[in-house]
Amino acid sequence: MPVIAVVNRKGGSGKSTFAAHVAAWCARQGHSVMLGDVDRQQSSRGWLKRRDPALPQIAPWAMDQKNMLRVPTGITHVVLDTPGGIHGFELARVVMFADAIIMPVCPSMFDRESAAACHAELMALPRVASGRCRLAVVGMRIDGRTSAAQSLAEWSRGLGVPFLGPLRETQLYVRSLERGLTMFDLPPSQAAADLAQWAPIIEWMRPVLLPPVAANDPSPSAAQGTRVGPSRPGSLMPAQEALVHGSRLMSASGSRAAAVSHSAPVRTLPVATAEKAQIPQFLKR
Ligand SMILES: Nc1ncnc2c1ncn2[C@@H]1O[C@H](COP(=O)(O)OP(=O)(O)OP(=O)(O)O)[C@@H](O)[C@H]1O
Ligand SMILES: [Mg+2]
């Protein structure tokens, strides 16, 4: 179950916008995707509420019988939207799940400095330093023709992090999100320029996002553990469960996952309940 986390401790850098787009792209590919917030702000859940059910579906966290948020059964891809200011133990716990982290970075010096500090903290974590969790930067709200875009690309390369290109500033992002949409949901002619900017980002993510395996999928191929996310060692999973108290962010790497799917049925999270849901310990801020 590939997990992509969108991380930058700088508030307002475009994390939720980016995460919604990654989830929508996965949904359009036919994947069973969950978009989950890792904080109480729950911006992504708010966005999902606006999304037309007729569009390719994106699931929110589900809640199990113990009122713990968890990945719904059958989900093959997870996108985590993280809050501004995330650091320390919370950041480390997200990294334990993630196969890839994308940092959306705006062009100002302040944004770069904040992102550099976040990068340094990420690189201190073995999963990132060893490359098991891949890391890349995307320029957010930047005109690709400007020197600001050049500076950000050079800055990223200087850190040794792939720069996947800029996403321009346009009200199309703002208006789409207000309607529960992304660029991937608009008519291609309307979003052509922006979709072109997404192409290199998708190409970088593609090996991480494929091949999928359903969470808690009891099928034989899943039980053999053949198609777990590309970079996650199976041995990490028990540790993750222990760390993430009750959240059960699991991939279907073994029979244990199948057992959970039978013994702990999940219900999708009613909106009213969702806001009061008991967020797993590591998700609390
Ligand atoms: N490419 C873009 N063009 C125009 N506006 C954008 C673009 N990307 C993001 N925005 C706008 O910038 C604002 C901040 O974006 P967003 O909420 O995604 O940031 P964030 O990093 O998730 O913030 P927070 O740290 O508070 O969670 C939003 O109003 C969003 O609509
Ligand atoms: Mg956000």
Strand order in the sheet with 62-63: 69-70, 62-63, 267-268
Residue 218's pLDDT is 56
Q: Report whether residue 169 contacts ligand 1, using a CB cutoff of 6 Å.
A: yes
pLDDT greater than 90 at residue 34? yes
Give the pLDDT confidence of 227-274 residue by residue, as tens digits. 333 333 322 232 233 223 334 454 333 333 333 333 334 444 444 454
Q: How many A from CA of 25 to the centre of ligand 1?
A: 18
Query: Closest ligand to 85 CA?
Result: 1
Give pTM, 2 decimals. 0.81
pLDDT greater than 70 at residue 47? yes
**Domains of the chain, each with CATH number or no CATH:** 3-283 (3.40.50.300)
Q: Report whether residue 46 contacts ligand 1, using a CB cutoff of 6 Å.
A: no
Q: Which atom of ligand 1 is nearest to the CA of 82?
A: 27
Backbone CA torsion sign across 136, 170, 12, 113: positive
Q: Which atom of ligand 1 is nearest to the CA of 174?
A: 31
Q: How many A from CA of 6 to the centre of ligand 2?
A: 9
Give the pLDDT confidence of 143-185 residue by residue, as tens digits. 999 999 999 999 999 999 999 999 999 999 999 999 999 999 9
The amino acid at 61: W
pLDDT greater than 50 at residue 193? yes
Give the pLDDT confidence of 77-104 residue by residue, as tens digits. 999 999 999 999 999 999 998 999 999 9
Q: How many A from CA of 11 to the centre of ligand 2?
A: 7
Q: Which atom of ligand 1 is nearest to the CA of 84?
A: 25
Top-confidence residue, 219 or 204 = 204
pLDDT greater than 90 at residue 8? yes
Per residue in 124-142, is it b (16+ CB within 10 Å) or e — as a string?
Answer: ebebbeeebbbbbbbbbbb
Q: Report whether residue 83 contacts ligand 1, using a CB cutoff of 6 Å.
A: yes
Q: How many A from CA of 213 to the centre of ligand 2?
A: 27
Q: How many A from CA of 22 to the centre of ligand 2?
A: 14
Q: Can the peptide bond before residue 2 be classed as cis, meaning omega within 30 degrees of 0?
A: no
Residue 219's pLDDT is 52
**Which residue is closest in CA terms to ligand 1's atom 9?**
14
**Which residue is closest in CA terms to ligand 1's atom 14?**
12
C-beta separation of 182 from 145 below 8 A: no
Residue 63's pLDDT is 80
